Chain A
Amino acid sequence: MLLSQQKPLEEILRSLEGELKVFILGCSGCAEASGTGGKAQVLEMKGKLEGAGKKITGHTVVDFLCQKALIQSRLRGKAREVKEADSLLVLTCGVGVQAVAAVSGKITHPGCNTLSLGGMRGEWQGSERCQECGDCVLDYTGGICPLTACSKSLLNGACGGTTKEGKCEVDAEMECGWKLIYERLEKQGKLDKLRQMYDAKDHSKMIPPKGLRLSDRWALEQGK
């Protein structure tokens, strides 16, 4: 299971700045178990966003958001609501956010931070990876994680090692993560996001807060 925690509402609203219509996605896998992205939290978020003046074009809960085929089939039935939305807000782990961003082609905002669970992983089936950093940056990188897609986990853009073919200096088979991020943002007309100065990561956020460590869920995960 991937333990997640909702981002503060102010941070979510900041990421939705300039966008009126939002479609919300939740996950009935780990996010529901974490109490951050199940049906109840999706409806709760809908209320909060409407309270902040947003229009919710629709919402859905998928099991599981880490599986791109499932997302695709679920969104097909919601095509009109998704199309109408300026962006998607995804209440789940970093893998789910990246999978939704990859499948939907829409601007995708993370609604949660994913916390470290000391090694236990979710259900992912695809290529997206989450480092459980506790401070999700997917909002500003077009839904592609720079911590896992870039060998050096760089936060402020590519290093000088991107090859002529756009691959990573470490492995000629591996795409440069920052090139992928650049292309995604360019397609979305959001290249300005690259100008944001991103502070050095606070690694202490990787450690789940004490309250979560003491929960039944946490204890179950630890096999106690």
Chain B
Amino acid sequence: MGFQESLAAGKFVITSEIGPPKGTHIQEMMADAELLRGRVDAINVTDLQSSVMRLGSLAVCHLLQEKGLEPIFQVTCRDRNRLALQADLLSASVLGIRNVLALTGDYASLGDHPQSKPVFDLDSVNLLKVIRTLEGGTDMVGNALQGAPRFFPGAVVNPGGNPVEAQIIKMEKKIKAGANFFQTQAVYDVGAFEKFMKRVTPFRVPVLAGIILLKSAGMARFMNKNVAGVFVPEPLIQKMAKAGDRVKTSIEIGAELIQDLKGMCQGVHIMPIGWESKVPALLDATKL
């Protein structure tokens, strides 16, 4: 069963992600993807993550597809204008890629080419609209396409965003524009997430809670200070600070989190950020 079908069937879905390398050596990345085979419903492929120039998402999605792994094509508005975005969507379609995650994208100056000209010709809401327009058989300006693509578009939302009301309003716009699923920023505060889900459950669009394994107490504190919308509660930080075996404790925390979130949302999206090899152990511990 594919990703879309699993969500439709009400299965608790799991997605994870891989990041393309800077360069052409893809062995390590493909090995990371293999670790996820049979364990996840789909694999996100990041699009020049953190605005760092690397191998493109579209080619990697195609490689996954060839290996029988289901990709989610992440597309940001940072580097392509509306012509290039539409062209890449058509390209994805002919390669058999259905799942698309529409994102605004980090600002260009945050990455390794701060001299570049940021594009942002479209925003995430309009990108979703364009996906639906192409499906309808025309381009953005109404010209007929010879053959229309089919997609399963998704988007992101930050349940810890400040103010959360603004996040929810934008989420509604994304749904109106065509988003069929959401993946979230990393969640650690189960209570706050539960409140968020109470607000958005009436929208009846599946939400996959973001999971990032805590590598250390320091990482947790860093995220609390610097990462938008992420809040790691103090007891979890203390647990990591006192851990004898950090990996073991981290996986325990992650598994407990997933168990707690399971009744609230429709799945989880695990972002390994370097800990790709720990994902199977996390899923074992969660019994997923």
Is residue A105 within 8 Å, beta carbon to beta carbon, of the partner chain? no
Q: 0/1 per residue, A169-202, Cβ < 8 Å to B?
A: 1100000001100100000000100110111110
Q: How far is the CB of A168 from chain B (nearest CB, A)?
A: 8
Do B125 and A169 touch across chains, with their CB atoms under 8 A apart? no
Do A157 and B120 touch across chains, with their CB atoms under 8 A apart? no
Is residue B280 within 8 Å, beta carbon to beta carbon, of the partner chain? no
Contact residues, A71-113 vs B (CB, 8 A): none
Do A160 and B228 touch across chains, with their CB atoms under 8 A apart? yes
**8 Å CB contact of A191 from B105, B161, B165, B229:** B165
- Name B123's closest neighbour in chain A (CB-CB): A154
Contact residues, B144-169 vs A (CB, 8 A): 156, 158, 161-163, 165-167, 169
**In the bound complex, CA of A154 to CA of B120 (Å):** 8
**8 Å CB contact of B118 from A152, A156, A164:** A152
- On chain A, the residues within 8 Å of B228 by CB distance are 160-164, 169
**8 Å CB contact of B173 from A157, A162, A164:** A157
Is residue A58 within 8 Å, beta carbon to beta carbon, of the partner chain? no
**In the bound complex, CA of A199 to CA of B140 (Å):** 11
**In the bound complex, CA of A197 to CA of B118 (Å):** 23
Q: 0/1 per residue, B163-195, Cβ < 8 Å to A?
A: 101110110110011000000010000000000
Interface majority SS (helix, strand, loop, mixed), chain A: loop
Given A195-B172, A200-B122, A200-B126, decide whether A160 and B162 contact each other with a Cβ distance below 8 A.
no
Most B CB atoms within 10 A — which of A156, A179, A197, A198?
A156
**In the bound complex, CA of A182 to CA of B185 (Å):** 21
Contact residues, B229-244 vs A (CB, 8 A): 229
Do B82 and A200 touch across chains, with their CB atoms under 8 A apart? yes
Do A200 and B140 touch across chains, with their CB atoms under 8 A apart? yes
Interface residues of B (CB under 8 A from A): 77, 82, 104-107, 109-110, 118, 120-126, 129, 140, 156, 158, 161-163, 165-167, 169-170, 172-173, 176-177, 185, 225-226, 228-229
